[in-house]
Amino acid sequence: MLGQGGFGITYAGYDQALGRPVAVKELFPDGSTRVGITLRPPAGMRLEGFLEARAAFLEEARVLGRFNHPGIVRVLDVFEENATAYLVMERLEGETLAARLVRQRALSNAMVLELARRVGAALEAVHTAGLLHRDLKPDNVFLEEDGRIVLIDFGSTRAFVGGMTVRHTRLVTPGYAPPEQYATSARFGPYTDLYALAATLYHALTGQAPPASTDRLLGTRLLALPPGVPEGLRRGIESALALRIEERPQRVTDFLALLEGTAPVQPRPTTVIPAPQPERIPQATPTVRPAPTVRPAPSRPAVPIPTGPARRPVPLPIPAPRDPEPPQRRRRSRRRSRAGLRAVLGLAGAAIGAGLLLARDETDPPLLIVSALIGLVAGVLLWDLLPLLGLVAGAVGGYFLAGSLGYGSGIAVVAAALLGAFLGYRLFRLIQR
């Protein structure tokens, strides 16, 4: 076995017909089992999900079969057997860039620049075919023993149309995925893969992956590259790591031109903070253009400027913020509202008092007046007694509610009555305000 991932196992094989070693990749999702040699999908995966995974696996074979590029792993055959699918590829001898970085931590500037050229050329072939790799990272860059650098694992490859916003399955590797890959509907293009390539080169130079793009959007800063990195390589990596799409190189050729120092226009660099250094290292002296010759104006006699005691600055008054409605006006407005409500309740009480007598065929004017006055006073006092009425009504309501829920007696009934009284009191106090 050469390796294993979340959806497949790669075995060392031998093509007897051609007489050469090969690598055979089997679709084998995590949790799968075998009945004899037949694959059984994991219990948690529905049949539709497995069929979709198999279709994507076969699509990877078709994508790779379109290329004949030294920087892209070659596919020799694809077939379905044992209820799954197999991909036969050339066998690569060496290690992934991720494994190399575990051993060496960081690579030389010359090696990183060569890495950028080789992987960039492979990406250019992918983009020319209208595709994006979408999962470029040190694990998917293979360093062969003879010096060949190969881009592998095209399982996430998708077609793209420049400038269009599309929906896609979100697939990200933190540190290497740009912000647009975290969205389910976004604009994709070669600049998406260039961000991942720049992050891979950054890791190769510093020994660590850059912060996730989502963390950088929230304020995490990108540490500067080591001081010995050539200016072109530094400028290309920092530009391609820009969070905004329009600030990145738009094509591989633009990116390589930045690396080689032949770009006509320099994109705005990504904001970085300097990495801590044990000692100060002198920077290269920038080239300064000579200033244009300016002919001096004819000399004139100097005019003396009168001097005097310096004036002390006078602070300007700062106007206090204006309250759109003074507190006194708000209080008067509330008082008028309360007086109006009292008047309404008083008139309603007077009408009810007089109406009760009229309902009993009592038409004696003095008696009607007295009854109306009593109703008027009762209506006005009702406003002030609202909180007390709310307290009583809430307590009674809480008591009957507890009884309807099956609590005939005990602490629950008392608690319900007290809670109802409190809520009723507060409610009517709010009405008064």
Q: Residues annotated in the binding site, as ranges? A: 25
**What tokens does 403 get?**
């009884």
- 30, 4 Cβ separation under 8 angstroms: no
Burial (CB count within 10 angstroms: exposed 0-12, middle 13-18, buried 19+), residue 260? middle
| Cα(240)–Cα(202) distance, integer angstroms | 11
Rounded Cα distance, 334 and 325, in Å: 13
- 10 Å Cβ neighbour count for 263? 19
Q: Which residues does the annotation place in the binding site for ATP?
A: 25
Rounded Cα distance between 299 and 289, Å, is 28
**Three-state secondary structure call for residue 164:** coil
Complete edge-to-edge strand list for the sheet that includes strand 3-4: 3-4, 8-15, 20-27, 84-90, 75-81
Residues 353 and 372: beta-carbon distance below 8 Å: yes
CB-CB contact of 141 with 73 (8 Å)? no
The residues near 124 (Cβ < 8 Å, ≥ 6 apart) are 252, 253
